[in-house]
Amino acid sequence: MNRILVTGSLGQLGRCLQDIKSQYSDFEYKFVDVDELDICNLEQIQRLFEDYKPDFCINTAAYTAVDKAEEDIQKAFNVNADAVKNLAEFCLEYNTVLIHISTDFVFEGNKTVPYKENDFPNPISIYGASKLEGEKHVQAILPKHFIIRTSWLYSPYGNNFVKTMLRLAETKTVLNVVNDQIGTPTNANDLAEVIMQIICKEILLDKNSELTPIYGIYHFSNEGACSWYDFAKKIFSIYKIDINLQPLPTSGYPTLAKRPFYSVLDKSKIKTVFGIKIKDWEQTLTSILTDR
């Protein structure tokens, strides 16, 4: 039975992977968060790899506080870059396939059409720069890797835009939300499903020795594009929340970290290689919110 190690297991994506594990019962799983495996701790990684010998490692652990990272540069690079290098080295030693999650924030955001995997990354924040450095380590060290860049992740867990909007709506009658940053919301559950499909396909191809061409960088988000304002509008419409929602330019909402004005990801590659059908962002958001 193939063994899957999931880091950062109490985060949004980690929790969604735990939610779907019963649908993929041909695997043995070990879910660990920072209290059991701090990915910055070399000895802890070594011990875990030695004991568990994972066939796959899904690295969802990350420093994800985008604004805080601007002031906590060392920590952001430790977690998002240095620790990823260590993980990749252990994966190489133990012949483990690494599924590493990255971000649309590796892009500057000057384009007006969706970003492809081979578009030049040029991050404009510390978070984006630290994640890009993590990607580069994985590519340099470990041939058997999948780097999946995703965007605007939300789930019933942790901190995310959907939960923030619902919380703010409890106390506010007017909300101003940025309408000139364009991207795509991604249901973390859909991403978890895609990761498991990639693992299943890798195993299939490995058996047929058709391996190498499928490794590499992939983009995954839900389909479509919107602004944070459109995203908020949809959330309130699904919940039938009556609130005075006003569009705001980025200049009216200063933050520590700069964010790309446009970071829609082109998903052609992942759809072609893995035969994946991707849900539209509005459709999957409606289903997650009305199911609760």
Ligand X SMILES: NC(=O)c1ccc[n+]([C@@H]2O[C@H](COP(=O)([O-])OP(=O)(O)OC[C@H]3O[C@@H](n4cnc5c(N)ncnc54)[C@H](OP(=O)(O)O)[C@@H]3O)[C@@H](O)[C@H]2O)c1
Catalytic residues: 127
Interaction of residue 182 with ligand X, rule CB under 6 A: no
Interaction of residue 257 with ligand X, rule CB under 6 A: no
Residue 33 or 210 with smaller CB distance to ligand X? 33
Burial 20-34 (b: 16+ CB within 10 A, else e): ebeebeebebbbbbb
Contact 134, 128 (CB under 8 A): no
Interaction of residue 152 with ligand X, rule CB under 6 A: yes
Pick the stretch among 49-57, 149-157, 195-203, 262-270 that binds ligand X (CB under 6 A). Answer: 149-157
Interaction of residue 33 with ligand X, rule CB under 6 A: yes
Q: Where are the alpha helices (DSSP H) in the chain?
A: 12-20, 42-52, 73-77, 83-93, 126-141, 161-171, 188-207, 228-238, 268-274, 281-290
**Which residues pair with residue 219 across a beta bridge?**
149
Interaction of residue 42 with ligand X, rule CB under 6 A: no
The span from the CA of 7 to the CA of 10, in Å, is 9
Residue from 3, 10, 166, 176 touching ligand X (CB under 6 A): that is 10
Q: How far apart are the first and last CA of the chain?
A: 34
Pick the stretch among 58-66, 115-123, 252-260, 265-273 that binds ligand X (CB under 6 A). Answer: 58-66
User: Mask 82-121, x = binds ligand X (CB under 6 A)?
Assistant: -x-----------------x-x------------------
CB of 101 to ligand X, least distance (A): 4
Interaction of residue 60 with ligand X, rule CB under 6 A: yes
Minimal CB distance residue for ligand X: 11
CB of 173 to ligand X, least distance (A): 27
Interaction of residue 67 with ligand X, rule CB under 6 A: no
Beta carbons within 10 angstroms of residue 173's beta carbon: 8
With 0-12 / 13-18 / 19 or more C-beta atoms within 10 angstroms meaning exposed / middle / buried, residue 163 is middle
Residue from 62, 138, 177, 264 touching ligand X (CB under 6 A): that is 62
The span from the CA of 40 to the CA of 44, in Å, is 9
Pick the stretch among 57-65, 138-146, 172-180, 280-288 that binds ligand X (CB under 6 A). Answer: 57-65
3-state secondary structure of 15: helix
Q: Which residues bind ligand X (CB under 6 A)?
A: 7-8, 10-13, 33-34, 37-40, 60-64, 79, 83, 101, 103, 131, 150-153, 158
